[in-house]
Amino acid sequence: MATSLQDQLLKAGLADKKQAQKANKERHKKVKTKQKNKKAVIVDEAKEAAQQALAQKREKDRQLAEKQREIAQHKELEAQVANLIKTNAQPKNNGDVVLNFTHDNVVKRLYVNERTHKDVADAKLAVVSYQNNQYELVPLPVADKIKSRLPSAVIYIAETADKNREQAKSDDDWYADYDIPDDLMW
């Protein structure tokens, strides 16, 4: 049987037992450290994968929480708009004058009295909706509040009333330079 180099050196007297044990210890330490390093690399890869999975899960949870927060905020705004409309709704369907307005490119009608029709035409009242095909009349300041919260709820605000008044006033100013006789006979 072949003897190791270490045994041969011991027999020849070139090395003693202490040197042999020291060499064995060092070899054993090197082997151990190599094994630990391999395990450490494996453990580090597993740790990194776990940390990456955890980071992805946190990001997904954050996005889900953000969506839920947005949905809750939208529901809160809808509830505020519904409350504003319910508390400030003006009477409607109490007359025989037709109030026409468009919603989604469809002409809609409300039957109101003459006073209400005049208020809508003068932009004192606005048509709003908080549920499908349920329209309400609210004062203009309330409509502005609703528009700031949920712009799609405001259906119609008369914008031409001010323009018509300005046009009529400018027409009257043009005729102001002419004298109108009081004694005209027709």
Mean pLDDT lowest among 49-58, 66-75, 87-96, 134-143: 87-96
Q: What is the mean pLDDT of residues 70-85?
A: 91
pLDDT tens by residue, 110-130: 888 888 888 888 888 899 987
Other beta carbons within 10 Å of 146: 25
Determine the distance from the C-alpha atom of residue 15 to the mean position of all C-alpha atoms in its chain, rounded to a whole number.
81
Question: How far, CA to CA in Å, does 140 sit from each of 90, 135, 137?
Answer: 11, 15, 9
Please, which pLDDT band fits residue 72 given cuts at 50, 70 and 90?
very high
Helix (H, G, I), strand (E, B) or coil at 133: coil
The residues facing 109 across adjacent strands are 100
Entry pTM: 0.55
Quick check: 75 pLDDT over 70? Answer: yes
Compute the distance between CA of residue 86 and CA of residue 164 in angstroms, rounded to an integer. 31
**Given the structure tokens 């990194």, which residue do they identify?**
48
CB hemisphere CA count around 182 (13 angstroms): 0
Are 124 and 90 contacting, i.e. CB atoms less than 8 angstroms apart?
Answer: no
Q: What is the mean pLDDT of residues 25-50?
A: 79
Q: What pLDDT score was predicted for residue 162?
A: 52
User: 36 vs 28, which has greater pLDDT?
Assistant: 28
Q: What pLDDT score was predicted for residue 161?
A: 47
Compute the distance between CA of residue 158 and CA of residue 140 in angstroms, rounded to an integer. 10
Phi, psi of 60 (to 5 degrees): -65, -45
* Number of helices (H), then strands (E), in the chain: 5, 5
DSSP-assigned states of every residue in 151-184:
GGGEEEE--HHHHHHHHHHHHHHHHTTS---S--
- β-pairing verdict for 134-139 and 106-112: unpaired
Are 56 and 109 contacting, i.e. CB atoms less than 8 angstroms apart?
Answer: no
